[in-house]
Structure formats: structure tokens, C-alpha cells
Amino acid sequence: MNKLKKLRAEIDRIDEKILELLNKRAEVVLEIAKVKSAEKVGFYSPEREREILERLQQLNKGPFPNDALKVIFREILSASLSLEEPLKVACLGPLATFTHLAAIRHFGSSAEFIPVKTIKDVFEAVLEGKADFGVVPIENSNEGVISYTLDMFMDYDLKVSAEIMLEINHNLLSRSGDIKKIKKIYSHPQAVAQCRGWLERNLPNIPIVDSPSTAKAAEQAAKDEEGAAIASDLAAKIYDLRIIERRIEDNKNNYTRFLVISEDFPKPSGKDKTSIMLSIKDKPGALYEVLAPFKKHNINLTKIESRPSRRKAWEYIFFIDLEGHIEDKKVNKALGDVEKHCLFLKVLGSYPRTDEISKRRKYL
């Protein structure tokens, strides 16, 4: 027992040292804020944040895991930034949607999150200056691309400044936490579809009530003693619900990619992706002419998606993701060659490529 007490005392001393260092870090952050203000430099630098996180992960020798390290330092960076000026981030509401969760993963919980009703509202909040950034879903590994988000890039002159990959897990929540008391289940139709097998096996005769979002479903369940919701664990936290069963989705490999939108995009990080959209001429070989320059300049395309233009029958818009930054010489040259064969070409943004998945059930 004496050994345990000694070890706990050592933990206490380490925690006190961490606290002291956090406050010293905050003092330096406030000095940086003064310099930025005097020199009229933007207070938020995603390139600098990425540099800090990557450097610390490279320095980490363990046993503390790198994925947890990144989450902790994301929160430190978020709290530090709030000392200068809290970021305003628009996302689909109400709070506790997966878009909100993705936004927390990227910006940290010290940002000011502005919940709005639609994807269009996210774009408008950023365009009108009500938010510094917006977070919108762009594709799901099971359901495919979210066409409405792509359409918004046609109508709004905003840029993609980052991407977020989030693992989507669904949980069954209720006020009591007792599965036997459930008389109805609230959730978004997409979440219900992704959990259909589990529901048929475990709650086959319970009626489903459609909700506009999983977060709204949690809010409804919080007011209904006999109701349950299919939603995130963040929703359970916000709406004071108990988790009856975790991860009830049928497909355990369920991921959603989100884009961060803003009025500009970051400088090259050395590991970037560029998103563009273009329209091609209606003639034989037109698509080949557009794609050939990427082959010529050895540029890898990671995604290509077509959509009707909504402006002219049988005219299509292509959305393309490619490796590299617009400031890279070969990317810039390739896009110059591509543009010669397009009716129009628009660069949506260049931003750091995300190779890792944020696992929402951990470290939240």
C-alpha cells in the first residue's frame, strides 16, 4: 500500500508540473497574440498547428499512444487559440450531430460552434462572416457522395481548407438505459438503415420515428421516458442519456469524410490534396483531353465524381481530388493544360491530406 501511495504522489507531482507548463505556454501564446495584432497577422494558422502535432508525434517515444497525444494537444491548441480569439465554426445542428463531432475533432472543444439547419446555411454563415469556418459532409463510405454539398460549391465562392475523416458509430440511447422500457425509437432514416439488422434481431416490433438528425433524435428521446434514440455518444453526453448498446451499426467499416470551408486555403504542408471542379466540351475524347495532363505530369487522382450541371441538359460537372498543392509547379502546370480543354475550371482549395481516421469512441 505504501508503494501505491508513493506512486500516486509521483503522479500528483507530475500533474502539477504539467499544469505549471500549460500556464507558461498560455503566457507565451498571449505574447504571440500581441505580436500578431501589431503586425496584423491572422490569429489562426492551420499549417502551424499541423507542424506542432506532427513534430510531437515524431518525438514521442511512448508508452503514451500517438492517437491520444494528438487528441490532447488538439485541445491544448484549441484552448490556447481561444485566449487570442475563439474560432467561430458553423456546422449542421443541433449540437451533437456527426458534423458537430467532426468539427470538435478538428478545431477542439474550445472553438465556438454555431449550429445551423442546412448545408446551405453553413456556406452562408461563412460567406456572411458569421463564422470563420464551416464543416460539411462530402461523402460516406457506405452511402457515397453527398450531392447537395457538391452543388453548393457551384453556387458559393468558398474554399476547402481541410478535410476530416470520421469513423461513424451508432449507439442505442435512452433516459433509463433499460432496453425493456423502449416503446419507440427516434433516429434519422440513414442511421436506421445502417442499423437495420441489429434492430430486426433485438427490437423487431418497436416502431421507428423519423427525425431530421441523430442529435434531434437524442433530444426527443430525452423528453420521452419510453423512447430511445440511435445517436452518438456525444449526444448521450449532451442530452443526459444512458447508452444501452454501443456500435449497433451493421457495417463496422463506416466512415464519413467532411470538408472544412473558409474564404481561403492554407499554404503547402508537403503532404497536400487539391480539389477542383470543371466542365468539359461536348465532343468525342473531351474527358480524355482533360485527364491526359494529369498522367503527363505524374499526378495521382484520388477521386473523380460527375454531376449534372443543372444549367444545361446533358451538361456535367466533374469534381476531382488530386495529390499535391496548387502552388506545386507540376500541379499548377497540369491545371493550366487542363483548363485549355474546359468550359470552366474552378480550384476549390488545396489543403493537408488526412490519412488517418478519427475514431469517435476513443478519448472523447
Give the catalytic positions in this structure: 256, 258
Q: Give the cell for residue 91.
A: 456546422
CA dist 46 and 318 (Å) reads: 28
CA dist 182 and 204 (Å) reads: 12
Sign for the pseudo-dihedral over CA of 69, 70, 71, 73:
positive
Contacts with 281 (C-beta within 8 Å, 6 or more apart), sequence order: 341, 342, 343
Q: Is 289 exposed, middle or buried (0-12, 13-18, 19+ CB in 10 A)?
A: middle
CA dist 110 and 293 (Å) reads: 44
CA dist 130 and 132 (Å) reads: 7
Contact by Cβ (8 Å): 254, 359: no
SS3 of 14, please? helix
- The β-bridge relationship of strands 184-187 and 208-210 is parallel
CA dist 224 and 241 (Å) reads: 11
Q: Give the cell for residue 144.
A: 457515397
Contacts with 9 (C-beta within 8 Å, 6 or more apart), sequence order: none
Contacts with 236 (C-beta within 8 Å, 6 or more apart), sequence order: 171, 173, 218, 242, 243
Contacts with 163 (C-beta within 8 Å, 6 or more apart), sequence order: 138, 257, 258, 259, 260, 273, 351, 352, 353, 354
CA dist 42 and 28 (Å) reads: 17
Total Cβ atoms within 10 A of residue 203: 19
Contact by Cβ (8 Å): 345, 278: yes
Whole-angstrom Cα Rg for the chain? 23
